[in-house]
Structure 1
Amino acid sequence: MPPNQPIGEKEPFYFKSFNNVIGIAHNVTELEAELARLINVDKEAVKYHLREGHIVQWLRYIGEGELAERLTNVTEPEQALQIVREYLSSKGKNEMRSGRRCQGPRRHHRHAKPY
């Protein structure tokens, strides 16, 4: 675990292109935002992470197994973005029915090594 990472926090997902970090997601909401942004910035990097299963593996790691299953074998960034948006929409509706609110993206910085 990186030295500045609080105990119990999961590693974020690092979108990389040629060993450069081009995006970071700490949760599914941030994953949606990064997918939308990176489709216009470096679509091939997103395709690579989808094709290699990196995003699916990270989603399982953070406890988002249902979304991971939905994204298994998806290789097109636009399709992945649509699936993530549908998942967030259905999750938000379910949480509204039960009286809970969704947490938005976290807005803090930390220095963690990308993997």
Structure 2
Amino acid sequence: MEPFYFKSYDKTIGIAHDVNELEKEIERLSKVDPACVEWHLKEGHIVSWLNYIGEKGLAEMLKGVTNVTEALTRIKEFKALRNRNARTKRERRFNYYR
């Protein structure tokens, strides 16, 4: 799958291959070039890429978000929810086999 390229004009200033890298790049770019991130959010590029890589839940959470801080908050919430769900599944499997 293709990574997400953060571009500022014709220059690539960041690359993300998955949700973890997306979060890190948005955090980094929020300090270096927040307008770039806001533009990609506003244009729906990040949501489209998330759908492309199969992260439809996070894509839904980011629909209509144009603020960098709000995007980071939602990404962190999504990751926490995903981790909580994975932990619950492991616990259920463990209890099933006990």
Q: What is the TM-score of this pair, normalised by structure 2?
A: 0.89
Q: What is the TM-score of this pair, normalised by structure 1?
A: 0.76
Per the alignment, residue 83 of structure 2 pairs with 92
Per the alignment, residue 94 of structure 2 pairs with none
Point out 4+ residue stretches in structure 1 off by more than 2 angstroms.
Answer: none
What count of residue pairs does the alignment treat as equivalent? 90
Per the alignment, residue 112 of structure 1 pairs with none
Per the alignment, residue 17 of structure 1 pairs with 8
Q: CA deviation at 1:56?
A: 0.2
Alpha-carbon distance in structure 2 between the residues aligned to 1:71 and 1:80 = 6
Per the alignment, residue 113 of structure 1 pairs with none
Question: How large is the RMSD of aligned CA atoms in angstroms?
Answer: 0.7
Alpha-carbon distance in structure 2 between the residues aligned to 1:77 and 1:31 = 12
For residues 71-107 of structure 1, the C-alpha deviation after alignment (integer angstroms, 9 at most, x for no partner) is: 01100011001000110011011112223xxxxxxxx
- Corresponding position: 1:39 with 2:30: yes
For residues 38-73 of structure 1, the C-alpha deviation after alignment (integer angstroms, 9 at most, x for no partner) is: 100100000000000000000000001111111011
> Comparing 36-45 with 89-98, which one deviates more in the overlay?
89-98
| Bigger fraction of residues in helix | 2
Per the alignment, residue 65 of structure 1 pairs with 56
Structure 1 alignment gaps of length 5 or more: 1-9, 100-115
Per the alignment, residue 49 of structure 1 pairs with 40
Q: CA deviation at 1:19?
A: 1.1
Structure 2 alignment gaps of length 5 or more: 91-98
Code of the aligned partner of 1:67: L
